[in-house]
A and B are shown apart, each in its own frame.
Chain A
């Protein structure tokens, strides 16, 4: 028992930088040497996938890029997977962002890359509305008339000159809203747009936001949900587009095992040393 306590006393004094180093190695090694750990698909991800699959060819989907570059590892793979699924099904896509910092260039990059893969034509198959400041007014205003809020698209074309936008005037002309977000705008999409205009929607959000967003599934304000890198990896798997999220899941699993191990070890050490201190 004494040697057991000695180990815990030693561990208590360990420099935390060794733990940082261990975590770093645990992240890097599975990226270089993938383990191919199994990846299950959760029901909310499957529901979102099925909903998009059920849309008919020629339907219109509003895809949002409401995220900052700081959360790209979680959100960008969702955008790629979603856009590939939409273009594969020949669904018309309107993209928009309510985030000022960097989202516009991320959106342009993702849309251009995927459109090139599927040979989609700008203005007919997809339109990029770009960014507009003040998301509450933007979300509400788009329900009345999109052209009032975005007279021009992201490339300064008048909306009336774009064939797709001649039949998409407001939320009534949009069949589904696919939100990818890392912040509270997802709440506004649900409570302003879904509640007032009834447009069906689903979301891919960062892991930090996922617990809160689960409540929107229960109320059926959302049809499906992707939570964090795991959700992104699930969507990549469902759409048969393995990408960076699936690649990162081995590291994610290893790190979670390591953290659980440290939490258990830390608690055992705490209780063991506390018992000793109390008996003193």
Chain B
């Protein structure tokens, strides 16, 4: 028995074990679930050690003498003070850096990369039918989410149109989600029939 066949059979065993949950909860499902969780956790620990601590801190700091990395290194270590109640306040420095940094990048990213292009393109083809539908959809959906005025009269009517647009959007998302989940099932069936059983080529 080759190693490749052993690996494929093992993968097939875990695939079938996980699908066995559709019949009912059982020890094979539990075994596969726990092994997956354990391997993922172990893999992440190894990955972080190699690709973050070793590759981005240890090697450049000690081999390439990039001493500025001492600052993020100390900030990283301060995060661990959360485990000691007396000095846990020190972790706030690291968190403040992370929050500030993320907020700064996200603000520009959202505004420059998302909001402005979307607003601009909403009104680009306003003279066409699809352009009118687009503007109507955006305005009515925004009105539905405006809760400082009661949804009555003309305002309520436009809000109701907004609900219809939201429902169409949910329907499209649901349809695509069904397709995605079915694709995963097809993928596993292809693996079992092609790689494991060699029924199809």
Interface residues of A, Cβ cutoff 8 Å to B: 17, 20, 23-24, 27-28, 31-32, 70-74, 100-101, 131-134, 136, 140, 187-188, 190-192, 194-196, 206-208, 210-211, 215, 218-221, 227-230, 244, 247-248, 251-252, 255-256, 259
Contact = CB atoms under 8 A, between A and B. Distances in A.
A208 B183 CA distance: 11
B197 to A, nearest CB: 10
Interface string B112-132: 111001101100000000000
A133 B180 contact: no
Contacts, number: 123
Interface stretch (B1-9, B73-81, B151-159, B185-193): B185-193
Contact of A191 (B114, B121, B169): B114
Contacts of B199: 32
Nearest to A245: B183
Nearest to B50: A133
Given A248-B186, A255-B182, 7 more contacts: A17-B22, A27-B189, A74-B183, A101-B44, A218-B121, A227-B176, A247-B200
A73 B187 contact: yes
27 contacts: A20-B22, A32-B193, A73-B186, A73-B187, A74-B180, A74-B187, A100-B44, A100-B47, A101-B47, A131-B51, A140-B105, A187-B114, A188-B109, A191-B110, A191-B113, A207-B177, A207-B180, A220-B121, A227-B176, A228-B176, A228-B180, A229-B179, A229-B183, A244-B187, A252-B179, A252-B183, A259-B178
A96 to B, nearest CB: 14
Q: 10 nearest interchain CB pairs?
A: A73-B187, A191-B113, A195-B113, A207-B180, A229-B183, A248-B186, A219-B117, A219-B121, A207-B176, A207-B179
B112 A195 contact: yes
Contacts of A207: 176-177, 179-180, 183
Contacts of B190: 31, 73, 244, 247-248
Interface string B88-120: 000000000000000001000110111001101
Nearest to A258: B182
Contacts of A219: 117-118, 120-121
B43 interface: yes
A218 B179 CA distance: 23
Nearest to B171: A211
Contact of B189 (A28, A140, A215): A28
Interface of B: 22-23, 40, 43-44, 47-48, 51-52, 56, 105, 109-110, 112-114, 117-118, 120-121, 134, 169, 172-173, 176-180, 182-190, 193, 199-200
Contacts of B134: 218
Nearest to A102: B43
A129 to B, nearest CB: 13
A219 B122 CA distance: 8
A191 B110 CA distance: 7
B22 A136 contact: no
B109 A27 contact: no
B52 A133 contact: yes
A93 to B, nearest CB: 23
Nearest to A191: B113
A17 B47 CA distance: 40
Contacts of B48: 133
A168 to B, nearest CB: 22
Contact of B173 (A211, A247, A251): A211
Contacts of A221: 113, 117
A220 B169 CA distance: 20
Given A72-B187, A131-B51, A133-B51, A32 B200 contact: yes
Contacts of A230: 179
B191 to A, nearest CB: 9
A28 B184 CA distance: 13
A31 B182 contact: no
B144 to A, nearest CB: 18
B164 to A, nearest CB: 16
Nearest to A255: B182
A90 to B, nearest CB: 30
A256 B179 contact: yes
